[in-house]
Structure 1
Amino acid sequence: MIQPSLIQKYNVPAPRYTSYPTVPHWNNIVNPTNWAKSFTSAYQNFGPEEGISLYIHLPYCESLCTYCGCNKRITKNHKVELPYISALMKEWDMYTRLLGEKPKLAGIHLGGGTPTFFSPSALYTLINHITQASTKMDDFEFSFEGHPNNTTIEHLRTLAGFGFDRVSYGIQDFDSKVQLAIHRIQPFDRVKYVTDESRKAGYSSINFDLIYGLPHQTLETLKNTFKKTSELLPDRIAFYSYAHLPSVFPSQKSFEKHLPNESEKRMLYEQGKIWLKEMGYEEIGMDHFALAGDPLLNAKSNSTLHRNFMGYTTSPSKILLGLGCSAISDAYYAYSQNEKNISAYLEKIENGEFPIIKGHVQSETDLTTKAFIMNLICNHKAPWQACDKIPDSLMEFLIEGLISFEEGEINITEAGKPFVRNICMAFDPNVQNSEKSSAVFSKAI
């Protein structure tokens, strides 16, 4: 059990390090011209061997989940589907023309919003267009995020026809009082139905997203959520900390009086980890758990685990291309983010422009620091020269037993794993003494 004094000390705003530098610290000197150059160079150097991973942002939802921090638009008007799908295809075509050849495709992930807001026929049109203009690598991995309430058998079969075999369902919590507070009501029977149908349709990996720290959650209600989860036994579980940022997401103010306090929230996570272990799940890294034999666990054992804007992954691809409004791309030499506003995104695409609003060109120092931090957050260790002086920023972690130095490595100890974000911050000059951190980053614990 973690010492309460350490929780109090280190429960500060901290990046989740899906990139380095993190988005608030980008230099924003990226424009369509140098972005195109960076993307092309990255593909020439890494694409033929590693391929491109695609993240496609589908932002529409029929109702608002009040806890949600994603970029979304709430509407029941499904006439928005085809114009948006058309824009995504045009954006993809801009990149294929840039390369002048069929790119190799390592993976696709459909995120949102609610990807299953879109009809199966709309998704068929999109994925068919993308795959016709690319070459799938032998070990490609296609996945999507599904809402249990509107993912149909036709959705599952349509995507499976293209090779999708991983699906992630946003469960969050099974307690009816919690569901009512966060405005995401989905009965257990419906979740069971869509989970069973996913397996029948050939999906080899099913993930549940669960969140701790939600309003009205107690150890008793969480125990019931895990009991129901154990009946369905998804292959992976992402057990996320609820990020309370009401200044950014005003809908979160509706329930903030009912949130557990910091010690109660940490108890939910500590007890949750115990229940997960009893259910047969092994911890992969920050917030992620999987059953024995899962590829993510194998990657962790082999020290080949990677991390990008989609979280932990087994894909070695250095190129993650984001399509759609607000989507973020990583072309190794540079980052970029698309227009967040859907109308502005559609307008730029219609005008034949890359819809970029900000980005970052990586320096050699950035790339070195990124590799070091990603080693820490994926493998809990990184190379360390014995002759290197231990900086003052690490001394407290060392004294508290959260890190150790041995055999040419810095290691995050078992006691230090809950504080991995804090430890990474010690190597991140951008967040040190930065006023931006408290406003845009969720708390570490």
Structure 2
Amino acid sequence: MENPALNQLISKYNVAAPRYTSYPTVPFWENEVFTEHDWKFNVAQNFKNSKHNGISIYIHLPYCESLCTYCGCNTRITKNHSVETPYIESLLKEWNMYKRILGSEQLLISEIHLGGGTPTFFKAENLRRLINGLLAGNKRAAEASFSFEAHPANTTFEHLKTLYDLGFKRLSLGIQDFDERVQFIINRHQTVEDVDRVMKDAREIGYDSINFDLIYGLPLQTAESVKMTIEHSLRLNPDRISFYSYAHVPWIKPGQRRFTEHDLPVGEDKLNLYRLGKEMIQQAGYKDVGMDHFAKVDDALYLAAKSGGLHRNFMGYADRYTPLLIGLGVSSISDAWTAFAQNVKTVEEYNALIAEGKLPVVKGHLLTELDTHIRQYILDMMCKGKVIFKDSVNENERIIKRLQPMVEDGLVTITNNKVEITTIGKSFLRNVCMAFDLRLHETQERENLFSQAI
């Protein structure tokens, strides 16, 4: 049934918008005033002030055997598995560089996440070598969270058992959609049986949190295909479901030109796919814990959201906050709270810099005092659904002025010094956060920076 009011909101707010895994967002980093010396100083200072909180480590494993045409990640396509060993050697050398910067004989490791690419491209024995190398001489936090992303079609029992024995208790399965027509056009093939096999193996081994990544807005998707995908997913019974919008950015990822904009559900059609999936997921007992993320009531992510401990970083939503996130590998981003840094984006350049004993950092940003305040505002909105303005922030009035149209549209409420998102506003969370984004509003150059909000 047509909803004129909703159509108007979609038309108004379906603009290019960041996903806010950081603030400032990467396109607005002031790289010209950033140096490697600055980065090392901020890392060391952060660690000195917060070493008791432990360290989070993100490792980017870029290799895939085939290109998924929807994918926006930094990948390297190859069937040559001889690339595994030299890449792992470079990762461990980079980690040793950071250990020297931190200057501590024993580090407390709170979190490790293997992303990609396809981490299960790597042989289980090579993943064991990598994790043992990271943990050697260090201490694992009592409530450490180790997780990895996996492609159901190539994840073996050996992968699961090896990583579990190393302390991994959570995995995320990239499913996207079970419809064969959609899988064909996005070149992402796995069957329900593949996922069922991995789920049974993981449960038998002892994994206590399994996430499904599902996407709405993919080419050729329909309400029927999304309904079928959600039904299969609910039957397989994961602990978490990430149900998020496809990011169409063919000017950045040419592989997305395998299909055209005419193949994509847009506007209200796309939002209806989200509303259908979200309703089915919530009716099955999953709780909304943040932008496009749902979890069972006994899962750590929901418990963190309920207690106020939910956090968001370059890996997405997390059930903990660690002040220092070290990113290892090609294109990885590190976060020292007062500074960001990103590695080079090609394997060749990465390996060459590591071989020369240099940190492979290519760009970064040093946060100003105002940046840190705005970053906290956006984090609070993304993780708690509300923001309490601080009197010390001079930009509050400008932010409130930008929020006024959203108040009139019923997306947020403002009472005294508090902004709170509404139920309908949650579908426009990225737009709400844009009102706080001072750097975005300081520039007119917004074209081709971000995917559409809806």
Matched, 1:319 2:328: no
**1:99, distance to aligned residue in structure 2 (A):** 1.9
In the superposition, the TM-score normalised over structure 1's length comes to 0.97
CA distance in 2, matches of 1:351, 1:174: 45
Q: 1:40 aligns with which of 44, 51, 60?
A: 44
Amino acid at match of 1:343: E
Matched, 1:60 2:26: no
Amino acid at match of 1:100: G
**1:36, distance to aligned residue in structure 2 (A):** 0.8
Q: 2:424 aligns with which of 408, 412, 415?
A: 415
Q: 1:120 aligns with which of 111, 118, 124?
A: 124
Q: Which residue number in structure 2 is paired with residue 384 of structure 1?
A: 389
Matched, 1:370 2:375: yes
8 Å CA contact 1:106, 1:315 repeated in 2: no
Q: Which residue number in structure 2 is paired with residue 335 of structure 1?
A: 340
Q: 1:204 aligns with which of 201, 208, 213?
A: 208
Matched, 1:425 2:434: yes
Q: Which residue number in structure 1 is paired with residue 190 of structure 2?
A: 186
**1:236, distance to aligned residue in structure 2 (A):** 0.3
Q: Which residue number in structure 1 is paired with residue 166 of structure 2?
A: 162
1:287-335 alpha-carbon deviations (Å, 9 max, x no partner): 1011122121122122221110011111120111100010000011110
CA distance in 2, matches of 1:116, 1:36: 31
8 Å CA contact 1:24, 1:436 repeated in 2: no
Judged with a 3 Å threshold, the aligned counterparts in structure 2 of structure 1 residues 389 and 64 are, in CA distance, closer, same or farther, namely closer
Bigger shift: residues 391-400 or 37-46: 391-400
CA distance in 2, matches of 1:342, 1:145: 20
8 Å CA contact 2:29, 2:365 repeated in 1: yes
Stretches of structure 2 that go unaligned for 5 or more consecutive residues are none
SS at match of 2:99: helix
Judged with a 3 Å threshold, the aligned counterparts in structure 2 of structure 1 residues 7 and 140 are, in CA distance, closer, same or farther, namely same
CA distance in 1, matches of 2:149, 2:282: 25
Q: Which residue number in structure 2 is paired with residue 91 of structure 1?
A: 94
Q: Which residue number in structure 2 is paired with residue 290 of structure 1?
A: 295
SS at match of 1:416: helix
CA distance in 2, matches of 1:385, 1:165: 39
8 Å CA contact 2:43, 2:101 repeated in 1: no
8 Å CA contact 1:147, 1:169 repeated in 2: yes
Bigger shift: residues 27-36 or 159-168: 27-36
SS at match of 2:317: strand
CA distance in 2, matches of 1:242, 1:438: 18
CA distance in 1, matches of 2:14, 2:86: 43
CA distance in 2, matches of 1:211, 1:55: 23
C-alpha RMSD over aligned residues: 1.5
The number of equivalent residue pairs is 444
Bigger shift: residues 275-284 or 331-340: 275-284
Q: 2:153 aligns with which of 149, 159, 172?
A: 149
Amino acid at match of 1:312: Y
**1:400, distance to aligned residue in structure 2 (A):** 1.5
1:70-103 alpha-carbon deviations (Å, 9 max, x no partner): 0000000000000000000000011112222222
8 Å CA contact 1:25, 1:430 repeated in 2: yes
CA distance in 1, matches of 2:207, 2:308: 26
CA distance in 2, matches of 1:109, 1:45: 23
Matched, 1:129 2:133: yes
8 Å CA contact 1:306, 1:315 repeated in 2: yes
8 Å CA contact 2:56, 2:322 repeated in 1: yes
Identity of aligned residues (%): 48
CA distance in 2, matches of 1:57, 1:330: 15
Judged with a 3 Å threshold, the aligned counterparts in structure 2 of structure 1 residues 32 and 347 are, in CA distance, closer, same or farther, namely same
CA distance in 2, matches of 1:115, 1:200: 21
Matched, 1:442 2:451: yes
**1:385, distance to aligned residue in structure 2 (A):** 6.3
1:33-87 alpha-carbon deviations (Å, 9 max, x no partner): 111111000000112x211100000000000001000000000000000000000
8 Å CA contact 1:30, 1:336 repeated in 2: no
Matched, 1:226 2:227: no
Q: 2:178 aligns with which of 174, 181, 206?
A: 174
CA distance in 2, matches of 1:316, 1:261: 35
In the superposition, the TM-score normalised over structure 2's length comes to 0.95
Amino acid at match of 1:205: S
SS at match of 1:164: coil
1:270-296 alpha-carbon deviations (Å, 9 max, x no partner): 111111112221111101011122121
Runs of 4+ in 1 over 4 A off after TM superposition: 385-390
CA distance in 2, matches of 1:382, 1:441: 24
CA distance in 2, matches of 1:296, 1:207: 11
CA distance in 2, matches of 1:385, 1:155: 48
Amino acid at match of 1:127: I
Q: 1:22 aligns with which of 3, 14, 25?
A: 25
Amino acid at match of 1:411: E
1:187-217 alpha-carbon deviations (Å, 9 max, x no partner): 1111110111111111100000000011111
Q: 1:104 aligns with which of 97, 104, 108?
A: 108
**1:435, distance to aligned residue in structure 2 (A):** 4.2
Amino acid at match of 1:393: R
Amino acid at match of 2:308: S
CA distance in 2, matches of 1:136, 1:436: 44
Bigger shift: residues 385-394 or 246-255: 385-394
1:358-404 alpha-carbon deviations (Å, 9 max, x no partner): 00011111111111111111111111369964742121111112111
Judged with a 3 Å threshold, the aligned counterparts in structure 2 of structure 1 residues 290 and 425 are, in CA distance, closer, same or farther, namely same
Amino acid at match of 2:100: R
**1:433, distance to aligned residue in structure 2 (A):** 5.5
Bigger shift: residues 392-401 or 186-195: 392-401
Amino acid at match of 2:298: G
Matched, 1:349 2:354: yes
**1:139, distance to aligned residue in structure 2 (A):** 1.0
